[in-house]
Amino acid sequence: MRYVTMAALAGVVVLARPLAGQDSQFGIRGLGSPGTFMSVRAWATGGALAPFDGTSALTDAALADLTRLTASATEFSAYRTVDDGTNSSSLRSSRFPMLTVAGPVTGRLVIGGGFSTYLYRSYDVEVPGVVVIRGVPEAVVDHIASDGAVTDLRLAAAWRFSSRLSVGAGFHILTGSSTLTADRFFTDSATYKNASQVDQESYDGLGVSFSLLATPIPSLRVSAFLRSDNRLRAEISGFQNAQNDLPTTFGGGLQWAVTPEVKLAGAVTHANWSVSGPVGGAFNTTNWSVGGEFGRTSFPVRLGVRGGQLPFGPGPAAPTQLGISAGTGFVFSQGRGLVDVGLEHLRRSGGGLTENGWILLVGLTVRP
């Protein structure tokens, strides 16, 4: 057994080849690639459990389910291949997209907060070309990159009116920054010096969110949520570089506890991202997810599927995405600690470009 473990570990390390993730080529021309606001537990169900998960940042009302102080962190490594029909590239990245801390203040009031990634804004594009300078064609390679994200700082509270109804509200501060790089490399570097420009772009914005979580019958839970963000302002060196409206997002979810060891859920989210960009470049998105959690709480099996659209991309229609996920969790220290792992295969396509890849997820939840 020990040798099998070691061999499997070695195999994973060696075969961990660049393949997909939350950073996406589809966000380059827009504001970025939206975050998921999901814990690893919810992510492994395709996001179907996110509206009912207090360690996710999707809804505030779900905080009411936390009966003790709970801190949760999410980390993922994404491997993706980008195929534009001509070139295929293997990319990889690691992110720490979410941290939540929440706990009850009184028997009915739970407050929480933390950060999560609102928009992923990392990309790195190389564009070769030829420019004619002083009458001579010169080969160049342009290298334009962004490394950063828009982060959502959340302060939220949930109130449990009864065992059947909870409501929540949150206040969101959008912040963060990206390091922007633009380089032009000349093949004839003896004649032409390379040009390099680096700027720091910072973001700010505000948002509010409201949600409710109802349990009409003991085995059925219903969630509804609404979030409105005002605008995203970007500044470089203290000067406003851009300002874009942000969408209003709303959605709902349904969770059915078939038995104590079988939970099925589904969720739908809609966001009017079209307000964020010019017509033809930004699209409203509807995303859905279906999934479930099976087995004992100490060692569940989670499965899920999610799909929908991405808000930014070239062409007349929004790019689409489809993800299939699975995962499990491991309870330790008499339930005070929980490690969740997950794996998602994600495919995104649109505008003649396809991204395929895997996301490996690890989450740690501590309940002291």
Partner 1 sequence: MRIGRPTLFALGIAAVLAGCTEDATAPGKCPGFCPSGQLAVVDTILYIISRDSSHIGYVQADSAIDMLAINAFGVDSRPIFKLGPVPNRLAVSTTDTTTSAALSVDSALLTLNIDRRDTLATNLRISLYRLPLTIDSGTTLGDLSGPFTDSLVRTVNVDSVLALPGGVDSIAGDSVVATDTTRITLRVVMKLDSAQAAYVAADSGRSAFGIRISADSLASVAFRTLAGGAGPILTWWATFDSSGTNVHRVIGTAVNLFNSFVHNVPMPALDSNLLVGGVPSARSLLRFSLPRNIRDSTQVVRATLLMVPITAPVGVPSDSVILTFARVSADLGAKSPCIPVGSLCSAPGAGDSSVVVAEPVRMNATDTIATDVTLIVRAWQGDTLGPQALMVRQLPEGANLISLRLYSSRSTAFRPALHITYVPRYSFGSP
Applying the rule CB under 8 A, the residues between 190 and 209 that interact with partner 1 are 191-197, 199, 201, 203
CA distance 86 to 354: 11
| Nearest alpha-carbon partner for 188 in 137, 143, 134, 145 | 137
Q: How far is the CB of 242 from partner 1 (least distance, A)?
A: 5
Residue from 18, 103, 113, 307 binding partner 1 (CB under 8 A) = 18
Residue from 1, 105, 130, 279 binding partner 1 (CB under 8 A) = 1
User: What residues from 56 to 75 belong to the interface with partner 1 (CB under 8 A)?
Assistant: 75
For residue 51, give the amino acid letter.
Answer: P
CA distance 350 to 134: 40
Binding segment toward partner 1, per CB under 8 A, in 108-116, 206-214, 220-228, 350-358: 350-358
261 binds partner 1 (CB under 8 A): no
26 binds partner 1 (CB under 8 A): yes
User: What residues from 118 to 137 belong to the interface with partner 1 (CB under 8 A)?
Assistant: 121-128, 131, 133-134
Residue from 187, 261, 296, 299 binding partner 1 (CB under 8 A) = 299
CA distance 184 to 116: 34
Binding segment toward partner 1, per CB under 8 A, in 56-64, 97-105, 303-311, 360-368: 360-368
In a 13 Å sphere around the CA of 136, the CA atoms on its Cβ side amount to 9
Number of residues that bind partner 1 (CB under 8 A): 85
Q: How far is the CB of 141 from partner 1 (least distance, A)?
A: 10
Instruction: Please say which residue, 267 or 282, places its beta carbon nearer to partner 1.
Output: 282
Q: How far is the CB of 168 from partner 1 (least distance, A)?
A: 29
Q: How far is the CB of 290 from partner 1 (least distance, A)?
A: 23
Residue from 20, 28, 38, 61 binding partner 1 (CB under 8 A) = 28
Outline where DSSP puts E strands in the chain.
33-34, 70-83, 88-104, 109-120, 123-133, 136-162, 165-186, 195-217, 220-229, 231-236, 239-245, 248-259, 262-271, 285-294, 301-309, 320-332, 337-350, 353-366
User: What residues from 144 to 163 belong to the interface with partner 1 (CB under 8 A)?
Assistant: 144-147
Helix (H) or strand (E) holding 4: helix 2-15
Residue from 8, 220, 258, 262 binding partner 1 (CB under 8 A) = 8
- The distance of Cα 217 from the centroid of its chain, to the nearest Å, equals 32
SS3 107: coil
- Written as six digits, the tokens of 5 are 């473990």
Distances (CA, A) of 244 to 111, 120, 227: 30, 16, 17
Based on C-alpha coordinates, what's the Rg of the chain? 22
Binding segment toward partner 1, per CB under 8 A, in 65-73, 159-167, 236-244, 251-259: 236-244
Binding segment toward partner 1, per CB under 8 A, in 82-90, 165-173, 215-223, 285-293: 82-90
Residue from 139, 217, 261, 330 binding partner 1 (CB under 8 A) = 330
Are 189 and 139 in contact by the 8 Å Cβ rule? The answer is: no
Instruction: Please say which residue, 223 or 328, places its beta carbon nearer to partner 1.
Output: 328
